[in-house]
Amino acid sequence: MVRDKSLTARHVGGVYWRALVAQIRAITEYPADFWVMASAGAMWNVLQFAFITVLFAAVPDVAGWRYHEMLMLSGLFTVASGSTALLVDGVWSTGQMVLKGEIDYRMTRPAPVVVQVATTHIGMQGFGESGIGLLMFAYGWIGAGLSLAALPIGLLGLVCAIVIECALITVFCAVNFWIKGPMSNFAFVLVDLQSNAMVLPLGLFPIGVRIVTLFVIPVAFVNFVPVAVLTGHLSAWWLVGTPLAALAAVLAAVGVFRLGLRSYDSAGH
């Protein structure tokens, strides 16, 4: 029984990897498009870096957070956001697939529908976003005086950030199974709120916002909690919540997508 589950997991992983590689091969057929999109993603985050630099030229800290700590906060979110474009960008097309009935034949294939949908596209801007995000995070790490001994915590936070962000985007895109429309408006709102609010210290917000972002929609575990633990703003006990939030987000993504498939009635209904 355990062996069957292992084989199933291996099969799903193989399907996901082969589909992703196929998309990468398609992208490399048009190198100019790749570099334009990757550069566009990088430029937006260079502006974010510049904004933080200009801000801290005028103020010493924001709610007790200094320049390099803020760079880590913004950089980790940027890596997570860019990774969604590389790993699950196809879920943004869920609404279009539902309206056009394109989910039908994917339901007949021997692989999870969510995996097939997620790998229908790769956002090339994710290469630039993730690259700049890693540079910001690394520069902030060095400037904050963190040692290599904290590297395992940083890697755990990085992996969990990517998993949580991909899972939450999948959840909010799956809403289109019930709210028919080509655009994933709920997912757009989530990303917009994160890019504007979650690159700031959570202490700036009311208690209600903190509770929601920690225990309801765990976006705070994408970047705030790991960076706060690394920089000493939070106790190390908070780090336990990061993998738990990642697990909860993945289970929510799988569960919501399955519920959506049960209510799916193809095109024209």
pLDDT digits (tens, 9 = 90+) for 154-189: 999 999 999 999 999 999 999 999 988 888 899 999
Residue 265's pLDDT is 84
Helices 151-174 and 241-263, interaxial angle, to 10°? 20
Q: Is the pLDDT of residue 6 over 50?
A: no
Work out the pLDDT band at 4, boundaries 50, 70, 90.
Answer: very low
Residue 138's pLDDT is 96
List C-alpha distances in Å: 112 to 9, 78, 129: 11, 28, 28
The stretch 125-147 carries a mean pLDDT of 94
Q: Is the pLDDT of residue 3 over 50?
A: no
Residue 152's pLDDT is 95
For a pLDDT cut of 90, what percent of the chain falls above it?
64
Question: Which pTM value belongs to this model?
Answer: 0.91
Tell me the three state secondary structure of residue 121: coil
Q: Is the dihedral of CA 85, 90, 94, 95 positive or negative?
A: positive
DSSP state of 62: B
Work out the pLDDT band at 109, boundaries 50, 70, 90.
Answer: confident
Domain locations in the chain as residue ranges: 2-263
Tell me the three state secondary structure of residue 65: strand
